[in-house]
């Protein structure tokens, strides 16, 4: 099951985070939120498999200072 680990403000940020997570060996996908015509400016969910949530949170916390 895929689990949301971060909600990015736009596609560019989501793609950057996905790239970092994939580089670290995690599976990752993105899902657009909101109306379809918002395109790249819509918020995006960053999702990883349930078993990789803790590792993804650690990676993102190191990047985002959370």
pLDDT tens digits, 25-48: 999 999 999 766 666 678 999 999
Say how far apart CA 53 and CA 66 lie, in whole Å.
15
Q: What is the span of the domain harbouring residue 26?
A: 2-64
Mean pLDDT, the chain, integer: 91
Q: What pTM, to 2 d.p., does this model score? A: 0.88
Asked if the model's pLDDT at residue 18 lies above 70, the reply is yes
pLDDT at 51: 97
Residue 60 is part of a domain; what is its CATH number? 3.30.70
Task: Provide the angle, in degrees to the nearest 10, between the axes of the packed helices 11-23 and 53-64.
Answer: 120
* DSSP bridge pairs for 29: 47
Is residue 66 predicted with pLDDT exceeding 60? no
Q: Please name the residue ranges forming H helices in 1-66.
A: 11-23, 53-64
**Count of the separate structural domains present in the chain:** 1
């Amino acid at each position: 099951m895929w689990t949301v680990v971060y909600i990015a403000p736009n596609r560019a940020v989501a793609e950057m985070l996905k790239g970092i997570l994939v580089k670290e060996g995690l599976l990752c996908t993105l899902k657009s939120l909101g109306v379809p015509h918002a395109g790249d400016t819509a918020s995006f969910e960053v999702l990883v498999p349930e078993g990789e949530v803790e590792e993804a949170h650690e990676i993102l916390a190191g990047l985002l200072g959370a």
